Amino acid sequence: MTGLFPGDYFVHEFEFGGQSFFAYGLLRSIDGTKYHADYKSGNPPSKPSTVSKESHRVVGRISKRAYQLARLRQWPNSQAEVSALIDFSAGKKIRLSFSERVSLLFVR
């Protein structure tokens, strides 16, 4: 999680048993070499307590609004959907539904 600081929202990609899935997180704190984060995901294949370094990577840091959009979209789990969220976080225009637009107005 190099380059992330406490309070950052991010997208993480995990691989378990040949399956890949994305999780959305908020980095709570860094304690030496341990990172403490809260994760949300649509349908993870399992709930392991530890993950090897080779089986995961941080895809990118996202804004709080992009994190809320991921929540509204029920934690997207495809590369295309994650790329759209990262683009939205970077300020690029993406297609939003009316309800998403209204909900995101209240996110600071």
The answer to whether position 1 is within a domain reads: no
Question: What is the arithmetic mean of pLDDT over 18-41?
Answer: 87
The answer to whether position 2 is within a domain reads: no
The answer to whether position 77 is within a domain reads: yes
Report which secondary-structure segment, H or E, holds 20.
strand 19-31
Q: How many domains is the chain built from? A: 1
Q: In which domain, by residue range, is 78 found?
A: 9-104
The answer to whether position 3 is within a domain reads: no
pLDDT in tens, 61-107: 999 999 999 999 999 999 999 999 999 999 999 999 999 999 999 88
40 DSSP β-pair partners: 24
The answer to whether position 41 is within a domain reads: yes
The answer to whether position 4 is within a domain reads: no
Band of residue 20 on the pLDDT scale cut at 50, 70, 90? confident
The answer to whether position 57 is within a domain reads: yes
Asked whether 43 and 77 are in contact (CB, 8 A), the reply is yes
Q: HSE on the CB side for 45, CA within 13 Å?
A: 10
